[in-house]
A and B are shown apart, each in its own frame.
Chain A
Amino acid sequence: DQQVKQNSPSLSVQEGRISILNCDYTNSMFDYFLWYKKYPAEGPTFLISISSIKDKNEDGRFTVFLNKSAKHLSLHIVPSQPGDSAVYFCAAIADSVNRDDKIIFGKGTRLHILP
């Protein structure tokens, strides 16, 4: 049962252009969303998050957009840099008010930044 879906297993983007990674979710109880980044042989690293009360959160080159009605979120990276090549995991938490500990991850999208 995939509650968090990343339908693109991989994405290639030219350096300097915008990378857009997409994520869909099915559980309407999710109220907090995250993106993690993972390099080979390393653990995932937290990148950015967004609460369901917002529709956008920006941190430097990274912006996350949330469309609750469509149950869709996206991560925009602009401009894309070679060091952004990694696997990006979309993740979600249900009932963050009561600090539910279970983070549900998607399968990940491998982003390859082309020189």
Chain B
Amino acid sequence: EPEVTQTPSHQVTQMGQEVILRCVPISNHLYFYWYRQILGQKVEFLVSFYNNEISEKSEIFDDQFSVERPDGSNFTLKIRSTKLEDSAMYFCASSDGTTWGELFFGEGSRLTVL
């Protein structure tokens, strides 16, 4: 069964460092997303991406964040200068858009900022 894969599974970084989280969405999907979950909190929307551009972003997704689909298979989330409060589990998701709201999530990348 096709699945969304994410790397790394866990990254530890120093505050102020740049981090890139990588995702390979399901191959025939057209909509791509990043969500995050701070420990014990709800899953929060960060950004959606369609047709090679951001379609929507949340207030969390400020200038420190960027997304890219560099080669037609990978979908990356970059955090330019990490802060302590960026520590969270980051989930990539994709959708083919046929069933609205049905997103296929990856297993997540845990980011720990020290």
Chain A interface residues toward B at CB < 8 A: 2, 4, 32, 34, 41-46, 49, 89, 91, 93, 96, 99-108
Contacts and interface: CB of A to CB of B under 8 A. Distances in A.
Size range of the interface on B? Answer: 20 to 34
Nearest to A49: B101
Interface of B: 4, 31, 33, 35, 41-45, 48, 50, 55-56, 58, 91, 93, 97, 99-108
A105 B33 contact: no
Contact of B102 (A49, A99, A102, A107): A49
B106 A43 contact: yes
Contact of A101 (B4, B33, B42, B106): B33
24 contacts: A4-B42, A32-B100, A32-B101, A34-B101, A42-B107, A43-B108, A45-B105, A46-B101, A46-B104, A49-B100, A49-B102, A89-B42, A93-B100, A93-B101, A101-B31, A101-B48, A101-B50, A101-B56, A103-B103, A105-B35, A105-B42, A105-B44, A106-B42, A108-B42
